[in-house]
Structures are given as structure tokens and as C-alpha cells.
Chains A and B, each alone.
Chain A
């Protein structure tokens, strides 16, 4: 709103006759389309070597080919399975550890200190060690995803549990809730918003770990497809892989947002949105 006001206040619009206008949704597409056209033109004129970056037309063509041959779907499924398995392990482990540390002081003393120490290590630096431990099969790739994404889940859920309004805990105690009921009805729902933020972070880390993991001795997966393409200087396929990663990350984020909207429908912001 503010920027609109500022823009219309600027004296850069001479009072000319009204031009035909595009709807706002389409107007936002104008500059990306122009960039794509310039990119294509530069490639056609030989200004950009296809060994460095393939032209958009070639990228589109190889995307269609990869889909037609089933190669993309196959690699996508392999990658999704790795992220799914790693994330599944991370959610279970991160949640369990956060519950232990969040719900009791002794649990915090035992669990939190070592986790905070391990957390400061960039987990991608563990790749050499993981190869020695787990070989070069699926295990090190899944382990890398699991390790990286367990921390955001643990940290956010732990903070969420400790951040539950103590006045609500008190009220529930007066109502005679058992410890189990208190955790189920008060602590966990109260911690859910932070837990979902943690899940979104975890998804981001999971894709990142997957990219790195799939570049070590993989025989399938989007990362493998890209590494394989590098051997043959197929920049078009590499860019298809990048786009797939981007779309996957976006889709995963949308999925968690959708879950948030459903699970946190009691929040006033969301209530106003639906009203």
C-alpha cells in the first residue's frame, strides 16, 4: 500500500493518453519473460556458450525428454524416498529428544548439552566420516538428511515446550489434569506452532543435505542425474535438476503451511483470514 502511494506520488508519469493495461498478476511476469527472451537470444547469437549455460529452449527440450524417458520420475522418486526416510527419522528422533529435554529438568541436563555441542558442527562436514561408517550406499545419504534436519525439529520443539504459558499450565493443574493429560492437552498443542516452524527449517536442511549426499557415489537420484550430466557437459540437464530441487523445496514449504493453517486454525490471525 505504502509503496503504491509513494509510486503514484512520484512525478514520473506525464499525463499521456491511457495505455492498455495488463492485470497485476501478468505484469509481474513481464520482466522474467523478458530475461528468458534475452537469455535465449544471447545463446542463439553465440554470446553465451552452451557449455556454460544451455539456452532455455534446450532446457525445456531436455525436460520433456527426461520426462518422456521416465528418467526424471525415477530419479525424483529415489530422491524423495531419501528425503522421506531421513526426515522421518529426524522427526521421530528430534521429537523424542525434545520431549525428554523439554518435560523434565534432568532430561534437559542429560540431553541438551551434548546436542548443543554437536549442533555447532556443520553436519555436511561429516560426509567423509559417514562414508567410512556407512559405506557408499543409501545409508550415508539418509543419515546425512536425518542428522541435519533433526536439529531444527529438536530446537524448536524444545523451545516451544518451554515457552508454553505457565498460567495455562497452572490453570490445567487446578482443573485436576493428570501429567499425561497436561502434556496432551496443554503442553503439546502449545508447542505446536514452534514445532511446525522447526519442521519448515528441517525441510530446508533436508534438501540441502540431499544435494550434498547425492553427489557422493550415487547411482540414482536428482543429484546423480546432475553429476552424470556434468560428465557430458549437459548444462541443460543440470539446470533441469536445479529447477526440480527448487520446485520440491517450494512444494514442501507449501505443504507445511497448509498443515499449519489446518492445525493452528484457532489463532486469531488465521481466524480473521477465514472470516
Chain B
């Protein structure tokens, strides 16, 4: 069902059942957990080669903000997709809350629906429109609710994606390199916004990122994945709101960079 970098074969996805069907096809393997944390035991996943995830154990406490770092191909995205219910659990155990939401690296808004309709899409319960408007206001997009997605800037589109995730009041929010495609200034603004939103919503967050600074700025704990296993785990006990400065920040940053095989001055370590 999966091509190289985790793209789902469209036709098969349609067959295997989409929407509710697909979720049912995948979720039985993901046990529903009442506490809003995540518990992974012995998760192994391979796409016909060496294991992308190799007997992985990982816990995320309820309400914790966990950053997942790793080089390309380390299995970060596969782990996130498994938690999102997009990849099946073939081997191992995964327990995660039922209410999950994903923000992808590309905003993935439906171009033929205006921003507001994108946010209310699939939203159940009372007053979906009112809740969507509130979520859009929260990410500072109240003035763009009627816009077509293709007219939004990169930052605006990503904020709409964030509103679409938050309006579902997820217990687990999965962020797949959500700021990687944004320009540096927009990225800083978005990081501050996510820090702020998380303080208010207090959902469990898994942030997949390449950016060490981003991890230190936002997360309670950072985990470095290497060849499908956890290579390094670093607690980030800095006080919030955080700033890109200070000796502690620099020390944590250096530790994570080191774990990723990069020295502070940017040279790769000799193998």
C-alpha cells in the first residue's frame, strides 16, 4: 500500500476503504487509550528492505510535547504516519488516543473549498461553523475565512491547516515538519504560535522535525531516531516562554546536533 516515501497508492486506498473504513482497517491494531498519552512497544515496520522502524519502544506522557528528530530515512515520518492511522501496525503494539489530528508539511487544503469549509470538513458535533471560525481566529486567520486556499501564502495555508487540526480538539496532535517549507521569519512566528496554542490546549504533541532549534524551543523532550530505533533522548527542562538564547539552550542544541552527527560548527563528525 505504500510507495517509497510513504505515499499511499491511491487506487488501493480507495479499495481498502477510505475514511471510516480505512480507519477501521488500521485502528484495530492501535488500541484506544483513555489517558491521552501514547505507548509504543516493539513496533517494527519494513517496506521490503531493512526495517524502517526496528522494535521501537516509546512513551509520550499525556500533555507532553515530544520532538522527534532524525536524519532522512531514520523512520520519523513512518512513526508519525503509524500514529495517524495512515500506516498499519504490522508488528508490535501501539496505544494512542482516538482523537488525533495531523498537520502535514504541505498544508493539504482542498483547493476547491474555501478556507472555512476546509476547516469544517468532516467536523461533527454542534455548530461546526462557529467552532471553525473560533479556531481560525485563534491562528490569526479570521480575515481569510472566505479565501480560496490557492490564494493563501505559505504561512497562511499552514495556519489554516493548524486550525483544521485544532478545531477537532485532538488529544494527540501530530505535526509532520509543519514549518519546514516556510521562510525563516514566518517559521519563527509559527513556532511562537504553536508554543502558545499548546499552552492553552494542553494536548499531547508529537513534532517531527529536522530543526534542532525548533525542538529545543518547543518540546519538553527530544528523541533522536536512528535506523528505526531511539538513539538519544534529551529532556528539555527550559522554562517557557523560551528564547533562542542562553547557555542552557546552546548546550541542549549542541547535544542534539551531536546526536545527529553534526558538530556545533557545522562539520559532520567522522564516522
- A27 within 8 A of partner (CB): no
Residue of B nearest to A263 (CB): B112
Query: Given B9, B85, B100, B101, which contacts A166 in the complex, CB threshold below 8 Å?
Result: B9
Other 8 A-B pairs with CB < 8 A, given A105-B15, A176-B19? A162-B10, A167-B104, A167-B106, A169-B18, A170-B13, A173-B19, A179-B17, A182-B19
Measured between alpha carbons, how far is A265 from B102 in the docked complex, in Å? 28
Measured between alpha carbons, how far is A192 from B112 in the docked complex, in Å? 10
- Which residues A147-193 have CB closer than 8 A to chain B? 162, 164, 166-182, 185-187, 189-190, 192
- A106 within 8 A of partner (CB): yes
Q: Which of A75-83, A86-94, A117-125, A266-274 contacts B (4 or more CB under 8 A)?
A: A266-274
With A173-B86, A175-B164, A268-B150 already in contact, the answer to whether A181 and B9 are too (CB < 8 A) is no
A190 → B minimal CB distance (Å)? 7
Chain A residues proximal to chain B, CB less than 8 Å: 103-106, 108, 162, 164, 166-182, 185-187, 189-190, 192, 264-268, 271
Question: B1-18: contact bitstring with A at CB < 8 Å (1 yes, 0 no)?
Answer: 000000111111111011
Measured between alpha carbons, how far is A189 from B112 in the docked complex, in Å? 7
Q: List 6 A-B contacts (CB under 8 A).
A: A167-B108, A173-B18, A173-B86, A174-B102, A185-B110, A271-B148
Chain B residues proximal to chain A, CB less than 8 Å: 7-15, 17-23, 84-86, 100-102, 104, 106, 108, 110-113, 121-122, 124, 148-151, 164, 168
With A174-B100, A176-B23, A182-B19 already in contact, the answer to whether A169 and B10 are too (CB < 8 A) is yes
Contact, CB under 8 Å: A168 / B108: yes
User: Which of chain A's residues have a CB closer than 8 A to the CB of B149?
Assistant: 266
Measured between alpha carbons, how far is A228 from B41 in the docked complex, in Å? 83
Contact, CB under 8 Å: B122 / A176: yes
With A104-B14, A105-B12, A166-B8 already in contact, the answer to whether A172 and B111 are too (CB < 8 A) is no
Measured between alpha carbons, how far is A166 from B149 in the docked complex, in Å? 17
Query: Given B9, B12, B13, B101, which contacts A173 in the complex, CB threshold below 8 Å?
Result: B13
Residue of A nearest to B81 (CB): A170
User: Which of chain A's residues have a CB closer than 8 A to the CB of B13?
Assistant: 166, 169-170, 173
With A166-B7, A169-B8, A179-B19 already in contact, the answer to whether A190 and B104 are too (CB < 8 A) is no
Measured between alpha carbons, how far is A181 from B18 in the docked complex, in Å? 10
With A174-B84, A175-B121 already in contact, the answer to whether A190 and B19 are too (CB < 8 A) is no
